[in-house]
């Protein structure tokens, strides 16, 4: 899925006439929307019962601009990378091509199968990119010095606490579209495609200084 259903619907709405449509056209439009929603549901819903309701995040693929912006913020970096909610794997494939040892965490079995099949078809070895059916909320991420996440605003604060507890000091975290409640070191892009970079050592130092100032 190169485009999200949301983007498809937005593009389709721009070509619809502004006047009252013909009943047949209305019926066709309704059928199209229902079909698109059904396809989106197949990708978004599987695996939702595995995690608490407040931590659930629907599938929305990264845009090409978001992927490029993420890779810009990872320039000069190396090592192991965890993509939290890897979806169709596009960010994992981009990062593995840049030399990272990537793990994509995905609980949606359909997306997981798609990503694994694509990796096999592209001939990407498991040492460069692997996709696991694991709940990253229940996984210790201390082995990773690079983390990427395109999730939802409601979970960023909870995820921030987890990453601060587990990641090594030299880790860098990249957030797509929705920032963490930390001061970011740099960013790339703008609007819906903006990405934010956070160095864990800098974030921890900032939080310690804020705490000392408050005392």
pLDDT at 14 over 60: no
The kind and range of the H/E element at 102 are strand 101-105
Q: What percent of the chain has pLDDT over 90?
A: 67
pTM attached to this predicted model: 0.74
Q: What percent of the chain has pLDDT over 70?
A: 72
Give the residue-averaged pLDDT of 169-193: 96
Contacts for 115 with CB less than 8 Å, ≥ 6 apart: 86, 87, 88, 89, 92, 104, 106, 131
Confidence of residue 121 (pLDDT cuts 50, 70, 90): very high
**93: nearest Cα among 120, 65, 59:** 120
Out of 9-23, 60-74, 189-203, which region has the weakest mean confidence (pLDDT)?
9-23
Nearest 5 degrees, angle CA 68-CA 70-CA 74? 115
Q: How many residues does the chain have?
A: 215
Average pLDDT, the chain: 82
Confidence of residue 28 (pLDDT cuts 50, 70, 90): low
Give the residue-averaged pLDDT of 95-115: 96
Strand pairing report for 129-132 and 186-188: unpaired
pLDDT at 210: 86
And the tokens for 76?
A: 């000069």
pLDDT at 67 over 90: yes
Give the residue-averaged pLDDT of 18-24: 54
d(CA 148, CA 143): 14
And the tokens for 209?
A: 């200084």
């Amino acid at each position: 899925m190169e485009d999200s259903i949301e983007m498809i619907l937005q593009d389709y709405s721009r070509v619809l006439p502004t006047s009252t449509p013909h009943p047949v056209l209305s019926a066709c439009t309704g059928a199209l929307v229902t079909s698109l929603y059904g396809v989106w549901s197949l990708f978004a819903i599987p695996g939702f019962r595995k995690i608490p309701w407040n931590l659930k995040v629907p599938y929305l693929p990264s845009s090409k601009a978001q992927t490029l912006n993420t890779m810009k913020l990872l320039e000069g970096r190396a090592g192991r990378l965890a993509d939290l909610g890897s979806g169709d794997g596009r960010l994992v494939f981009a990062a593995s091509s840049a030399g990272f040892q990537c793990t994509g965490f995905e609980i949606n079995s359909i997306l997981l199968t798609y990503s694994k099949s694509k990796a096999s078809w592209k001939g990407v070895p498991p040492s460069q990119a692997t996709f696991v059916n694991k709940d990253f909320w229940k996984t210790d991420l201390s082995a990773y010095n690079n983390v990427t996440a395109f999730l939802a605003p409601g979970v960023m604060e909870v995820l921030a606490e987890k990453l601060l507890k587990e990641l090594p000091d030299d880790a860098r975290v990249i957030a797509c579209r929705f920032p963490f409640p930390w001061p970011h070191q740099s960013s790339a892009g703008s609007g819906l495609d903006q990405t934010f970079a956070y160095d864990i050592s800098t974030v921890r130092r900032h939080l310690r200084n804020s705490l000392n100032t408050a005392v």
